[in-house]
Amino acid sequence: MGPAVIAIGVFDGVHLGHQTLVRDAIDNARTREVASCVLTFDRDPDQIVTPGQAAPQLTSLEDKIAFLRSIGPDAILVVRFDEWLAALTPADFCVDVLLDAAEPVACMVGHDFRFGSGASGDAATLRALGEIHHFEVITHPLVRAAGAVVTSTRIRSLVSRGDVAGAAMLLGRPHRLQGTVVRGRGAGQGLGTPTANLDVDPRLALPAPGVYAAWATVGPHRHPAAVSVGIPPMFPEATCLLEAHLIGFQGDLYGQRIIVEFVDRLREQRTFPDQEGLAEAISVDVRLVSDLLSRSENPKEGPVDEGLEVDLTPITGKDEPKDASLRSE
């Protein structure tokens, strides 16, 4: 694609740190009067390198591209991460991928950037290669927010504990999942609150089991939703891990794609004495969701809390994340 400033990384979640890095790469490219580019991968490298240990992903490829596009780079280059790519040395990655894609004037990477076979290359390695191939390497400082470094690993931990509100602060938007509505057991209809059963990619990060307030988007329309995650104790035979009751919606959702954006966790999953007790609890959940979301605006792209303290001080020593995978957190 010709001369460019290139931001390189996996960018899972496209969180506040990723957003800052990409925006700084865009500004740098404008100063140099060249194109701005994001180079990322079609999957988590660990899905190829250590498939049994790959972490749940915060974003699908579709969402990652959409979130990156919203920041405004001139181009997004998605590289297929496969066995061939995993086996490349740092030098071969530089020549066969980076230089084959563009004429880098500068590359911007995270402080914890690793690349090449066995994660053998780091920012210093890329800088040495840049001296050979005539491009600058800019190491972007890690971002701190809410008292700690913003990383994909930290956000995954929050999501896995059900703290979707905390995750949203670090993502700059609600954690979201997409799924196709499939036929379920029909229990919700009998309880007076029909639910859409979503078939979600198992590689994506589900929040901890519980009941959540969320926004559910179908086509151009967004609805408040009470969302159940996990197998309901009252229905142990259930197989769907995510069900959404779209408040006020009437119609057939089977086969449609729904985007669920998690706002807050209401409660954990629990057992009730009977169906009447469960129906009453669901009714309370729906009222709580309606009240909670009526007091907040629909989520928008960008930081959800403009007052969130963000620190761009470089992180070194004991504060630096110890992550040996082929990723920039």
Q: For 215-253, what is each residue's pLDDT tens digit?
A: 999 999 999 999 999 987 767 676 788 999 999 898 889
Question: Which of 9, 46, 13, 12 has the alpha carbon at shortest distance from 24?
Answer: 9
Instruction: Tell me the CA distances in angstroms from 170 to 40, 156, 263, one per residue in order.
Output: 20, 11, 13
Instruction: Tell me the pLDDT tens digit for each residue of 18-56.
Output: 999 999 999 999 999 999 999 999 999 999 999 989 999
- Cα 255 to its chain centre, rounded Å, is 24
Domains and CATH numbers, the chain: 3-146+311-319 (3.40.50.620), 174-294 (2.40.30.30)
CA distance linking residue 170 with residue 15, whole number of Å? 6
Query: Where is average pLDDT lowest: 137-141, 173-177, 187-191, 209-213?
Result: 187-191
pLDDT at 309 over 80: no
- At 325, list the tokens: 């995978």
pLDDT at 305 over 90: no
pLDDT at 97 over 70: yes
Question: Which of 37, 38, 41 has the alpha carbon at shortest distance from 84?
Answer: 41
Q: Which amino acid is at 266?
A: L
Whether residue 215 contacts residue 244, with contact meaning beta carbons closer than 8 Å, is answered with no
Q: How far apart are the first and last CA of the chain?
A: 26
CA distance linking residue 187 with residue 225, whole number of Å? 17
Q: Which amino acid is at 139?
A: T
- Mean of pLDDT over the chain: 87
pLDDT bin (cut points 50, 70, 90) of residue 316 is very low
- DSSP state for residue 277 in the 8-state scheme: H
The runs of H, that is alpha helices, within 115-227 are 123-133, 152-160, 164-171, 187-190
pLDDT bin (cut points 50, 70, 90) of residue 314 is very low
Instruction: Collapse the DSSP code of 53 into the 3-class scheme (helix H, G, I; strand E, B; otherwise coil) and give the result.
Output: helix
CA distance linking residue 13 with residue 1, whole number of Å? 26
CA distance linking residue 206 with residue 325, whole number of Å? 21
CA distance linking residue 104 with residue 131, whole number of Å? 12
Task: Using a pLDDT cut of 90, give the percent of the chain over it.
Answer: 71
In sequence order, the β-bridge partners of residue 103 are 3
Q: What is the pLDDT of residue 113?
A: 92
> Which residue is it, tokens 């490349």?
88
CA distance linking residue 196 with residue 191, whole number of Å? 14
Global pTM?
0.86
